[in-house]
Amino acid sequence: MILENMQQKINTILGGNYSAQIYFVLRDETYFKIKLVDIENQKTIPAIKTMFSDYLINQIVENEDLSLCELSTADERSNAIYCYDYDEYPEELGLFRNFDIKAAVRGDKFSFENDNLSKLHGYIIYLGSMEDGMVLFKKHYPISLIKRDAFLLGAIKSEKRFKKIDGDDIIRLNGSVQLMRLEDKIFVIDLKVLEQNFGFEKLIRQAADHTIQSIHEIGLIEDIQILRDAAEDISFSRKLSKVKNSSPILKLNISKEQIILFTKNTSVLSGKFKYSPDGNTIRLDTKKSKEAFLKLLNDSFLHSELTKLYYDARAKDNITESTQLEE
């Protein structure tokens, strides 16, 4: 699905006669369960529809600078949505992936007698009809739950004073979401939430291991164990995980000899690496050399045909492929 199709799909759903439902995702020690939330229909449901639709329109539909990328090749650009393209799905993501509105509406409702808001993990928001719609996920944080033993002071501007706001437990919501599902595609809006709350770290480490194995097969590094040790740090492992699918050097099977020659003869890489005594492998003995090595594999040192200068391009799209798609 390309970006324009996704934006059009959202527009179509929000432009029709759609409803909104919220489901609590409750987490026990070993499993998740969802419960339909009974929400007042006259004022609250319309406000919820407006809040989430405004967010989607502003952040996605009318965002002219937005990029749509594959999750496996996610880079450091800030204004992007990522399409989930891994073959595996963490167990924690399964509930969202398999959510079915026709089954959900027949499921259990949240019960104040039998359920506990302290187990609230997140929200599944459904916008659409029974035939067509979108599924959203919003992470819940304990700070957003105001318990009945707290004193909530509200500003009443019309009276120019503060008053106690009555009620039992109060949940504070805004329109931001971290995941979206359209048809059978999952789109990641917030990478950090995915990595920290859905068991995605395991897949990151697996992808990093595959990258290290590919590098080992080339014979490019003097001591491959250096990379394995560095991958214990999840931030470095995350960067490694992107290389296998995004590296033009690995995809095009650039030879070890070509890579070594490039590192020695390119001015922007001067002093970045040390080499084995025979000069045939790269020695990664500093943090800077490891970071430079990842940039090298991602072909991030770009040469301008106009200025003849080299640039460090952390986020880039393949212009040749884009042109072919447009044609």
pLDDT given for residue 327 in this prediction = 40
pLDDT given for residue 259 in this prediction = 92
Other Cβ atoms closer than 10 A to 300: 18
Mean pLDDT, rounded, of the chain: 85
Tens digits of per-residue pLDDT, 64-113?
999 998 888 777 778 999 999 988 888 778 889 999 999 999 999 999 89
DSSP string covering 221-268: BS-THHHHHHTTSHHHHHHHHHHHHH-HHHHTT--HHHHHHHHHH-GG
Element (H, E) at 188: strand 185-188
Q: Let me know: does 13 contact 128? Beta carbons within 8 Å.
A: yes
DSSP string covering 1-46: --HHHHHHHHHHHHHSS-EEEEEEEEE-SS-EEEEE----TTTHHH
Better pLDDT: 65 or 238? 65
Could you state, in order of their start, the residue ranges of all structural domains in the chain?
A: 3-199, 202-326
Strand 80-83 to 67-70 pairing: parallel
Q: Sorting pLDDT into bands at 50, 70 and 90, what band is 1?
A: confident
CA 69 to CA 67: how far, in whole Å?
6
Tens digits of per-residue pLDDT, 157-172?
777 777 776 666 778 8
**Does the pLDDT of residue 234 top 90, yes or no?**
no
**Does the pLDDT of residue 13 top 50, yes or no?**
yes
Q: State CA 269 to chain mean position distance.
A: 31
Element (H, E) at 206: helix 201-218
Q: Sorting pLDDT into bands at 50, 70 and 90, what band is 45?
A: very high
Q: How many helices (H) and strands (E) does the chain have?
A: 12, 16
pLDDT given for residue 326 in this prediction = 39
